[in-house]
């Protein structure tokens, strides 16, 4: 497993030689080349933001506007978005300060079927944790069938996790800084014909184990495929600490939810995010979701 970080350190050494010229190029070009990444930053996966603003990796990610669905990093004073952000803070608190049991360091976010909002929950939860004083977060886009996190964070690029698993690129070239300090994103990468084989490979398992065990203050959020339509989630669940199931109001039946839990194994489930709940609570807000504007909120139910 140490080979992953040995490669990162080797890449950092070579990149230091061209730091000056790369930084100048960033200031001029709309599609930016990132400055050289220090050995310490690579080793810990704590990619610090550039002096002149959010930077990207040297694969020339194009910076685009961050999606308004990432309410946890909005600062426009929108009352409805602020209320939504508070709900994610509550979710963060329940995960990081549980009434009993250990704190999960690796968290897999999934849903029973597509369209329930798992990627929105993954992104906002990762931001909420990274905004803490000491917590660092690596957000992994593990849904190689329908990746969306890179777009949500305003990063347009075709390379990511699939390229690493195919051994076609180094991890250091694929890790992406976001506009949120202490939050690093590993995008899904280009679409492939064999996502299950890649995500169930020993290379993926080694990656999860190493990033989980190396530092105590880093959390791993893995956005996975819907459990009822793809087999990857069942495999990945064996190598993480806990699972959050996102259930959209009026979407999945109780039968489908029960089958999902039984399929994966209830011992790994931390709780359920009940998403898109309409008109049941006094604190309502309009939450634009997958191109649809409706009155929505969510509640987190911890498994007892």
Closest-CA residue to 180 (of 3, 47, 5, 58): 47
Domain ranges, ordered by start, for the chain:
2-302
Q: Choose among 187, 112, 201, 202: nearest CA to 154.
A: 187
Q: Which pLDDT score, from 0 to 100, does residue 290 have?
A: 30
pLDDT average per 10 residues of sequence, the chain (304 residues): 47 44 39 37 36 39 71 78 85 88 91 92 94 91 93 84 92 88 92 93 92 82 94 93 91 90 90 73 38 45 54
What is the pTM assigned to this prediction? 0.73
Q: What is the pLDDT of residue 157?
A: 67
Residue 139, SS3 per DSSP: strand
Compute CA distances 229 → 54, 67, 115, 145, 173, whole Å.
36, 26, 12, 11, 31
Residue 213 sits at the vertex; the CA angle it makes with 211 and 214, to the nearest 5 degrees, is 70
What pLDDT was estimated at residue 66?
79
Structure tokens at 134: 């000491």
Angle 123-128-129 (CA atoms, 0-180°, nearest 5)? 100
We find that the CATH architecture of domain 2-302 is: 3-Layer(aba) Sandwich (3.40)
pLDDT at residue 62 in the model: 47
- Give helix 118-130 / helix 79-96 axis angle, nearest 10°: 80
pLDDT at 224: 95
**pLDDT score at 299:** 53
**End-to-end Cα distance, the chain:** 35
């Amino acid at each position: 497993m140490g080979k992953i970080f040995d490669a990162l350190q080797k890449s950092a050494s070579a990149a230091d030689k061209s730091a000056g010229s790369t930084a100048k190029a960033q200031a001029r070009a709309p599609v930016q080349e990132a400055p050289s990444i220090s050995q310490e930053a690579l080793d810990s996966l704590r990619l610090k933001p550039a002096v002149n603003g959010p930077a990207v990796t040297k694969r020339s990610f194009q910076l685009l506007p961050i999606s308004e669905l990432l309410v946890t990093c909005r600062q426009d004073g929108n009352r409805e978005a602020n209320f939504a952000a508070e709900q994610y803070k509550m979710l963060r608190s329940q995960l990081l300060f549980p009434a009993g049991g250990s704190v999960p360091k690796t968290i897999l976010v999934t849903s029973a079927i597509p369209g329930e909002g798992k990627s929105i929950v993954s992104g906002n939860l990762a931001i909420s944790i990274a905004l803490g004083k000491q917590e660092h977060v690596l957000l992994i886009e593990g849904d190689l069938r329908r990746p969306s996190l890179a777009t949500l964070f305003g990063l347009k690029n075709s390379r990511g996790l699939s390229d690493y698993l195919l051994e076609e690129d180094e991890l250091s070239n694929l890790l992406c800084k976001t506009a949120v300090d202490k939050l690093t994103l590993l995008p899904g990468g280009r679409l492939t014909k064999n996502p299950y084989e890649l995500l169930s490979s020993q290379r993926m398992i080694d990656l999860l184990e190493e990033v989980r065990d190396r530092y105590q203050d880093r959390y791993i959020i893995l956005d996975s495929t819907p459990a009822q339509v793809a087999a990857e989630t069942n495999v990945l669940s064996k190598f993480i600490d806990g699972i959050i199931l996102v259930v959209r109001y009026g979407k999945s039946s109780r039968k489908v939810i029960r089958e999902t839990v039984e399929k994966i194994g209830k011992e790994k489930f931390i709780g359920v995010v009940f998403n898109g709940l309409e008109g049941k609570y006094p604190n309502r807000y309009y939450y634009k979701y997958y191109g649809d504007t409706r009155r929505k909120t969510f509640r987190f139910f911890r498994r007892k």
